[in-house]
């Protein structure tokens, strides 16, 4: 049984960390949280596969961690404040990860931020991302994909 539709479901490119999301991502997020501890960071660095065995990740979550699929981790229940612990472990910045999740390089992402960030206009509703410009970007939310269309390429 899935929960009723929510009024935030139509925000594009956004994974609201609600109860359903949190349940799905619990083990993944708790793995990420464990990297706050120096000894755990050392253990994960020494043998990532063995370290991940300590957490009840799904095969998809495990793969997303090992391949550093930042968007995939969110889609599988990750929360950015938790998954960012893994990015810190890798020596990455929010610009690296923000770019990776939105299909840009770090430099492109940083440039967008310095120019004032991603504007709200055209980015409030999923329907605004549905156009025929051929971008294959996922619209986010990972549920209620009533039609799996894709948005324009001029949002960066």
Partner 1 sequence: MTGAMRRTSTGVAIVAELVAGIGTSHVPAVGAAIDNGRQGEPYWAPYFDKIEPVRAWMAEADPDVCIVVYNDHASAFSLQIIPTFAIGVAAQFPPADEGYGPRAVPVAEGHPELAWHLAESLILDEFDMTIVNEMPIDHGCTVPLSVAFGQPERWPCRLIPICVNVIQYPAPTGHRCYQLGRAIRRALDAWPGDERVVIFGTGGMSHQLQGERAGLVNAEFDRAFMDRLVADPVAQAAVGHTEYMREAGSEGIELVMWLVMRGALDSDVREVLRVNHVPTSNTSNGLIVLEPR
Tell me if 150 sits within 8 A of 135, measured CB to CB: yes
Which two structure tokens, joined as six digits, stand for 42?
């050392």
Q: Is 11 in the site for partner 1 (CB under 8 A)?
A: yes
Which two structure tokens, joined as six digits, stand for 79?
């929360």
As a whole number of angstroms, the distance between CA 107 and CA 27 comes to 32
Q: Is 101 in the site for partner 1 (CB under 8 A)?
A: yes
Q: At its nearest, how many Å lie between partner 1 and the CB of residue 118?
A: 4
Q: How far is it between the farthest Cα atoms of the chain?
A: 50
Q: Is 69 in the site for partner 1 (CB under 8 A)?
A: no
By beta-carbon proximity to partner 1, the closer residue of 62 and 87 is: 87
As a whole number of angstroms, the distance between CA 83 and CA 74 comes to 8
Q: Is 113 in the site for partner 1 (CB under 8 A)?
A: yes
Q: Is 52 in the site for partner 1 (CB under 8 A)?
A: no
Among 24, 43, 72, 88, indicate the residue that binds partner 1 (CB under 8 A): 88
Among 94, 106, 130, 143, indicate the residue that binds partner 1 (CB under 8 A): 94
Pick from 98, 37, 40, 100: nearest CA to 68: 100
Give Cα 97 to chain centroid, integer Å. Answer: 9
Interface residue list for partner 1 (CB under 8 A): 6-8, 11-19, 21-22, 26, 29-30, 32-33, 35-38, 41, 71, 74, 79-82, 84-85, 88-89, 93-95, 97-98, 101-103, 109, 112-114, 116-120, 123-125, 137-140
């Amino acid at each position: 049984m899935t929960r009723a539709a929510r009024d935030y479901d139509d925000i594009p490119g956004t994974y609201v960390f609600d109860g359903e999301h949190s349940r799905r991502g619990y083990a993944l997020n708790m793995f990420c949280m464990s990297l706050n501890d120096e000894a755990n960071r050392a253990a994960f660095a020494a043998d990532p596969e063995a370290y991940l065995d300590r957490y009840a990740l799904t095969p998809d979550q495990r793969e997303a961690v090992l391949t550093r699929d930042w968007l995939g981790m969110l889609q599988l229940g990750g929360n950015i404040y938790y998954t960012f612990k893994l990015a810190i472990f890798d020596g990455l910045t929010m610009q690296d990860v923000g770019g990776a999740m939105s299909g840009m390089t770090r430099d492109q992402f940083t440039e967008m931020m310095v120019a004032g960030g991603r504007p709200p206009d055209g980015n409030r509703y999923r329907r605004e991302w549905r156009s025929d410009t051929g971008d294959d970007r996922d619209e986010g939310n990972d549920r209620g994909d009533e039609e799996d269309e894709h948005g324009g390429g001029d949002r960066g």
